[in-house]
Structure 1
Amino acid sequence: MDTEALRWFQLVCDGMTVTEVAHVHQVSQPAVSRSLARLEAEVGTPLLQKAGRLLRPTYAGAVFKRHVDALIHRLDDGLAALTELTDPRTGTVAVAFQLSLGTFLVPGMIESFREEYPRVRFRLEQSHDALGSSMVAGGRIDLEFTSRRPRNPAVRWERLFAQPLFLAVPRRHRLARRREVSLADAAEEDFVMLRPSWELRTLSEQLCADAGFEPRVAFEVDDLPVVHGFVAAGLGVAIVPATEGEPQPVGAAAALVRLTDAGAFRDIGVAWSRERRLLPSAELFRRHVLALKGGRMPTATA
């Protein structure tokens, strides 16, 4: 059914003449009349009747008009939403990120991007680096900030920077006042670690093996803020990522000592789908992120 004919039907029912409709829409009067006639033929009953110079809706036309109004309003809302999505200045970008990157990297990236595109909105979801598929593979997420290199060939991952690893120790620990430390110095300590499904756990165990020992895992937990909390409580030490300028977890009482071991860092990158074309606003944000890679990552201002 021709939506243009439906719009003209609305206008005629609301009191405009066919001549006025033709003038407003810059078409010929016969073109409007033919479209209205085709609409009646499709519906299978007269919708309009002459009343002097005007066409007025029949009873069937009045009933049909209520449904046409609802349909056209929904259509216009949909077109407006689509315009918002496809206009880079007003679209919405769906971003996922690990909790540990949500304290400095993601807010800084969004803040610097919105200096140029203040009307772009963001839909945020939390992810983590537990082994598994990237969130962008399902199509709900445009970009994902993650340390996990996706195994799915349909997902592209681009490295942004290397985030150093630290040894987190209780404030009164014997290593707490050191600026740097080797993992070998903590070989006899109890460790607080993430569960085996996490990529950071695999990296931590490999670093300990390279330092010549197998870590004694006293506690396994589900996220980095919990790791910090257990270390602060004096329940062990932990290998954690941190970045200069990154705020420490609220209430943290653990000290962070830089690890000198080779390979004591994790790569942070951004992932997106190879198979799904990003909408313009998301593509602009992707380019903004990649333009900053290799340099100092932006952090949110206070």
Structure 2
Amino acid sequence: MVHEPRSQPRVSWNSYEHDMDHTEHGAAAVLAPRLAYFAGVARHEHVTRAAQEMGVPQSTLSRAMVRLEQDLGVALFARRGRTVSLTPAGRTFLTSVERALAEVERAAESVRADADPASGKVAFGFLHTLGSETVPGLIRTFRADHPRVRFQLVQNYGEAMIERLRAGDLDLCLTSPVPDAPDLVARRLDEQRLRLVVPDDHRLAGRRRVRLAEAADETFVTLEPGYGLRRITDDLCAEAGFRPRVAFEGEEAETLRGLVAAGLGVALLPPPAVARPGVVELTVTAPRAVREIGVAWLDGHPDTPPVAAFKRFLLSRRGQLLG
């Protein structure tokens, strides 16, 4: 029971500020555990009935309300025997408390729904070049056994996806090169041959195979620095004994193919989903021109059931990822 005081609670603001300074997270950490209690008492305007509804001892509820008022330095209730009524300050506080509690409940429902084994969510990132065929095919196959699992799909370049993985925005990502970092777990799934793409009127266009060194004097169009394919291009050219002269940098492989078709340079690219007119794609015989595709996730990050199921599925596709 909340006992009726002879006067309004008197709380020293200096004492209150001292208490708040010694809480790790400020007012929210101090007040949050008592907000549901406060809303229950306000709803019933009776401590005993509120305690019965919430399944807590009346004495616990009474002490929680007194401490809440002390922490705020404001009287929230006017007390008359066993009944209570909200003060103007209490009514103002209740409006915000009810909104906050409703938001917490919505958040709880959302995370429970995302973790549901049958209909939960997987936040999945992948390279743009895997978006036209590879990823849709993977999801179609996975959903044959998990038809209600939802996907939040993010297309980006490798370093940006790793950043989002570390930030908690992604559960898994398909990327290249396969990352090697102490805070990540990465598994190689497959490799993809890269081709030297040239205009169809290029001096090499009549060939089927070419050594990369034969393109040492060519102008290249490449992805921007920070993209995994750009790093691989630079490394392969260095292995072939030259540094590529870059005329144009882009963000998407098919844009680069368009630049090649326009005669603006040559490029090292993975195979296209659909053959593009105006270019010829040559097999590179030396050095071995491939990029490894792998799946990565944050080390120690607990998986929800749908994420764990999709991770197992991806790992089962080793050597078959690209068809």
TM-score scaled by structure 1? Answer: 0.73
Amino acid across the alignment from 1:156: V
Selected match of 1:122 from 143, 152, 163: 152
Q: Aligned to 2:148, what secondary structure does the other structure show?
A: coil
Kindly tell me: are residues 196 and 75 of structure 1, through their superposed partners in 2, closer, same or farther at Cα, counting changes over 3 Å? closer
1:192 is matched with which residue? 220
Tell me by how many angstroms 1:293 deviates. Answer: 1.6
Query: What percent of counterpart residues are identical?
Result: 23
Residues 151-176 of structure 1 deviation map (CA, whole Å, 9 limit, x = unaligned): 42222221111101222122344654
CA contact (8 A) 2:221 2:264 kept: no
1:202 is matched with which residue? 234
The answer to whether residue 251 in structure 2 is matched with residue 219 in structure 1 is no
2:41 is matched with which residue? 9
2:314 is matched with which residue? 289
Count the aligned residue pairs. 279
RMSD, matched Cα: 3.8
1: distance between equivalents of 2:143 and 2:214?
A: 44
2: distance between equivalents of 1:150 and 1:285?
A: 20
Tell me by how many angstroms 1:33 deviates. Answer: 3.5
Selected match of 1:82 from 111, 118, 127: 111
Kindly tell me: are residues 150 and 134 of structure 1, through their superposed partners in 2, closer, same or farther at Cα, counting changes over 3 Å? farther
Amino acid across the alignment from 1:126: N
| Residue pairs, 1:1-302, within 5 angstroms | 1-13=33-45, 18=48, 22=52, 27=55, 31=56, 33-42=58-67, 43=69, 45=75, 47=77, 55=83, 57-60=85-88, 61-115=90-144, 116-128=146-158, 135-173=164-202, 175-176=204-205, 180-183=208-211, 186-187=214-215, 190-194=218-222, 198-206=230-238, 208-209=240-241, 214=242, 217=245, 219-223=247-251, 224-242=253-271, 246-247=273-274, 253-261=278-286, 263-297=288-322
Kindly tell me: are residues 129 and 65 of structure 1, through their superposed partners in 2, closer, same or farther at Cα, counting changes over 3 Å? closer
1: distance between equivalents of 2:310 and 2:206?
A: 41
Q: Aligned to 1:182, what secondary structure does the other structure show?
A: strand
1: distance between equivalents of 2:108 and 2:159?
A: 37
Q: Which runs of 5+ in 1 are unaligned?
A: none
Tell me by how many angstroms 1:285 deviates. Answer: 2.5
Amino acid across the alignment from 2:313: H
Q: Aligned to 2:264, what secondary structure does the other structure show?
A: coil
CA contact (8 A) 2:119 2:150 kept: yes
TM-score scaled by structure 2? Answer: 0.69
Tell me by how many angstroms 1:221 deviates. Answer: 2.0
2: distance between equivalents of 1:67 and 1:84?
A: 26
Tell me by how many angstroms 1:122 deviates. Answer: 0.7
CA contact (8 A) 2:199 2:279 kept: yes
1: distance between equivalents of 2:277 and 2:79?
A: 78
Q: Which runs of 5+ in 2 are unaligned?
A: 1-32
